[in-house]
Structure 1
Amino acid sequence: MRNFRFLKVGVIFSLLLFLFTNSFAQDFILKDDLIDIRAKNKIIEIGSEVKTKTGVNIYVYATSSFDLDKNITTKEKIDYIRNYELDILKNIENPYVIITISLEDTHVNLYYSDSLEKIIDKNEILDDYVVPLLASKDKNTVASKISASVLNGYAAIADKLADSKNIELENNIGNQGKVASTIWRVFIYFVLFAALLAYIYAILRKRK
């Protein structure tokens, strides 16, 4: 009977923990077609701590597709995606930062509240933390790269918000994301530089 009570308490505790975690997932991860469970759990950890300590909500909307008509023009595509994303923004809580990504539409974007304009640099987050991992040429699956890039960008946003409040986050991933992005950027520069040298060498050799 005693063991049964412990088992019962354990089941109830597990259920409450699941509901607690899932509620945060619904709060911060609006759509997660492409995010694996490990990245999802880390996003929930970071997002809940940032919300508690700074009051800012960091959201993710990661989908396979925005269901675009394949026959529309580029301008129509831009307008459609913008309106799609604006509809998402109508239903989230201020202040906010949100990363949106669509795999089939090769689209990634970032929005934030006006009050965070001096804290969040959209181009820095996307160019330094998100896009490099998305564009990396490695053996990882597309889903893995999307999970990594979203988590990387999410963590960078969290760091920016924490720095603005002069607080320290316990659940963030530190500077790992920045290091990964920096390594990838150095690699790209090396490849371009090597290609340029090879091109110059070929021209000089041809002239001789």
Structure 2
Amino acid sequence: MKFLNRGLLALTLIFTASLLQSSEYLYKDEVIFNPAFNQEVNRLGSELYEKTGISLRLIMLRELPRDKSIVEYEKELMQNFNEPTILLTFSELDMRVDILAKPVSLYEYFDKKQVLSPISSPVQAFVVALLNMDFSDMSSGGTILPLLAQKAKDGEQKGKYSGSMFNGYADIAEQVAKSKNVVLENAVGSANQTTILVVKVLFYGVIVYAIIMYIKRKIYLRRQSHEKK
């Protein structure tokens, strides 16, 4: 009986240790609950840490604590980590995304503004600036918000969340690795660029359609004006 109890205790400890290790880089998940997503994040995060000593953790929240901003939440959570850490945090109900790095020198290894840009390409940035007549901010290359902003059918929300957040997670990891002159075997690479290309095609399709409808409207109004005369 004692042998069985010891064996059960050993298995419990092994399982607990395995569970903690598997959730190390997908540090908190209240949204996706997908083992495959967990595995992909932890595989990439583990390799990045082994090769650079930098821990990149993904936080997937259902909702931020009451009366607390996403930055305040990240700063509080950051106190749990001693090693150089980058937090990529998403809150579903608040629809907020942020990146916090400690120490601040880690920002030298990746472009936070680019990762969190709502614009996916320089051409798109120019079009948006032209429409708004504001060229003060032409940042582009966003790998999270352009995907997060896409409409999803019922039942596909989690797929959109996991795709956009892993896209950003991989972007940060690859930028850090490149800055550290290391190669990540689990990098997303060309697959990441293909996803962004799809977003660009969808965006430009909407822009072209809007322009065509605008021209048609102008022609229609002009004809109506001539007919009245």
Residues paired across the two proteins, number: 188
Question: Take 1:51 and 1:157, find their aligned partners in 2: how far apart are those partners?
Answer: 13
TM-score in terms of structure 2 length: 0.73
SS in 2 for 1:129: coil
Q: 1:207 to 1:129 in 2, by over 3 A?
A: same
Matched residues in 1 for 2:192 and 2:64: separation? 27
Evaluate the alpha carbon distance shift between residue 102 and residue 175 of structure 1 in structure 2; reply closer, same or farther with a 3 A threshold: same
Distance 2:18 2:144 in 1: 25
**Residues 1:171 and 1:19: Cα distance change in structure 2 (over 3 Å):** farther
Return the structure number with greater relative CO, CA threshold 8 A, min gap 6: 1
Aligned to 2:3: none
Unpaired runs of 5+ residues, structure 1, are 1-7, 70-78
2:186 to 139, 162, 171: 171
Q: Among 105, 118, 123, which residue is 2:113 paired with? A: 123
1:96 maps to what in 2? 85
Alpha carbons 2:64, 2:91 under 8 Å: kept: yes
Please give the alpha-carbon distance, in whole angstroms, between the structure 2 residues aligned to 1:109 and 1:52: 24
- 1:197 matched to which residue of 2? 212
- Quote the offset at 1:40 in angstroms: 0.9
2:148–2:161 CA contact under 8 A, matched in 1: yes
Indicate the percent of aligned positions where both proteins have the same amino acid: 30
Per the alignment, residue 80 of structure 1 pairs with: 69
Structure richer in helix, relative to its length: 1
Q: 2:44 is aligned with what amino acid?
A: I
Q: Is contact 1:129–1:178 with CA below 8 Å preserved after alignment?
A: no
Give distance in 2, aligned partners of 1:40 and 1:99.
15
Could you tell me which amino acid in structure 2 is paired with residue 25 of structure 1?
S
Computed over aligned residues only, the root mean square deviation of the Cα atoms, in angstroms, reads: 2.5
Matched ranges for 1:1-208 at <5 A: 16=14, 21-35=18-32, 36-68=34-66, 80-113=69-102, 114-127=104-117, 128-139=142-153, 141-208=156-223
Q: Is the 8 A contact 2:54 2:84 kept in 1?
A: yes
Structure 2: unaligned runs, 5 residues or longer: 1-6, 118-141, 224-229
TM-score (norm 1): 0.79
Deviations 1:16-64 (A, max 9, x none): 5x55653333432221111322111001100111000000000111111
Contact 1:39 1:148 in 2 (8 A): no
Quickly say closer, same or farther: Cα 1:117–1:82, change in 2 above 3 A: closer
The aligned amino acid for 2:45 is G
Looking at structure 1, the residues matched to 192 and 95 of structure 2 have their Cα atoms a distance apart, in angstroms, of 22
Describe the shift of the 1:164–1:19 C-alpha distance in structure 2 as closer, same or farther (beyond 3 A).
farther
Q: CA, structure 1 residues 20+142, in 2 after alignment: closer, same or farther (shift >3 Å)?
A: same
